[in-house]
Amino acid sequence: MRISVRNILIAGTAIACAAIPAYAVLADPTPHVAVIAAAENGVAGQYIVTMKHPSRVSRAIAFPTVHRFTDGFAARLTSAQLKKVQSDPDVASIEQDKIMKISASRTLAAGTTQASPTWGLDRIDEGPLPLSHTYSYTHTGSDVDAYVIDTGIETTLTQFGGRADTVYGGEDCNGHGTHVAGIIGSKSYGVAKSVRLHAVQVLDCDGEGTTSDVIAGIDWVRENHAAKSVANLSLGGSKSTALNDAVTALSKSGVFVAVAAGNDNGDSCKDSPASAASVEAVAASSSNDTRASFSNYGKCVDIYAPGVNIKSTYQGSTAYLSGTSMASPFVAGVAALYKSTYGQATFGTIQTWLTAHANNNRIKSNKASTHNRLLYKSTL
């Protein structure tokens, strides 16, 4: 399960009409910044504008915005307004906003060792198969904050033990974000069982939102995150420079970022944020160490993690879901354990550790262009 971008705001949320101060533009400006058109699922008349200097964002223009970011804004623009923005020498890029939506299948239903864990937890603390039917851990991530950029979290579930809250947007009315959060840090199904979970709701009850909705949530985390933090984005769509730049900036701000590789059985380098620099793009594997048939692949994939029939928290109960959406939070959870064990570290340091400790050459039906690495938490 993974989420892609679509032309709809978070449920019940009106477009923000914050104005950006007025441009001094020629009466008949000549455009010089080309618009990057959406390869698919484009939102007609809506654009993501990135400025060369963040300080320029606060200059006003005579139209309302959908979102304001640290480095730019998103707005619905007429042809005339678009030409004015294109002619502004302070504009770095203009990208058509695009659509994302959920793609998933589901079946409802420290010396510490957890008996009878989910197969995914069991797999990430094993070397070669078979599974041991236990999950052993030294740390629980109690001093780490995990930001779930998704559909929200049902924070009142007992599995979260009062450790989950909503910091951006509203409660989860879809279930996807709650499932992802459970893999990162729920009591029974989570990798880091005491991590603090923060919901950043960028997608609505249908699991849908625009690229600019997602960037706005990323931008909030970038500006407000705690010292030792990880973030998970189990979502994606066609390649977006603006989205890639946003997650790269988040990573460089000190937050470890794990993202879903995608569920199209195609090249992850064609998707965002999987194609971004300084993020850990995660493909999905099954319980017998086979690449999931739906999982994306390619040189942009950094690691595999369990992603087929994964049990976790879901809308008042539990559910079994499949997708790279489920694989990515296993990596986010291990990154939380790393920070809890060794302290704050750069993305590069943690990625190097994940690569060095991975189970190599375990994945069957792997594509030749894809790193054959399976997540292993070692002694964390």
Answer whether residue 379 is part of any domain.
no
- Each residue's pLDDT, cut to its tens digit, for the chain (380 residues) gives 555 544 322 222 223 334 444 443 434 556 688 888 888 888 999 999 888 887 666 664 557 889 988 888 988 999 989 998 998 888 999 999 988 876 555 554 445 889 889 999 999 999 999 999 999 999 999 999 999 999 999 999 999 999 999 999 999 999 999 999 999 999 999 999 999 999 999 999 999 999 999 999 999 999 999 999 999 999 999 999 999 999 999 999 999 999 999 999 999 999 999 999 999 999 999 999 999 999 999 999 999 999 999 999 999 999 999 999 999 999 999 999 999 999 999 999 999 999 999 999 999 999 989 999 999 999 99
Active-site annotation holds for 122:
no
In this structure, the answer to whether residues 131 and 90 fall within a common structural domain is no
In this structure, the answer to whether residues 93 and 146 fall within a common structural domain is no
In this structure, the answer to whether residues 84 and 108 fall within a common structural domain is no
Instruction: Catalytic residue, from 71, 150, 219, 264: name it.
Output: 150
Cα gap 156→135, rounded to integer Å: 25
In this structure, the answer to whether residues 74 and 149 fall within a common structural domain is no
Q: What is the dihedral of CA 224, 229, 234, 237, to 10 degrees?
A: 50
φ, ψ of residue 46 in degrees (nearest 5): -120, 135
Neighbouring residues of 244: CB distance < 8 A, sequence distance ≥ 6: 272, 273, 275, 276, 277
Instruction: Catalytic residue, from 67, 139, 176, 198: name it.
Output: 176
In this structure, the answer to whether residues 12 and 159 fall within a common structural domain is no
Instruction: Catalytic residue, from 136, 234, 322, 325: name it.
Output: 325
Answer whether residue 222 is part of any domain.
yes
Active-site annotation holds for 225:
no
Which pTM value belongs to this model? 0.87
Residue 288: strand, helix, or coil: coil
Residue 342: strand, helix, or coil: helix
CATH code at position 277: 3.40.50.200
Active-site annotation holds for 176:
yes
Domain that holds residue 93: 2-100
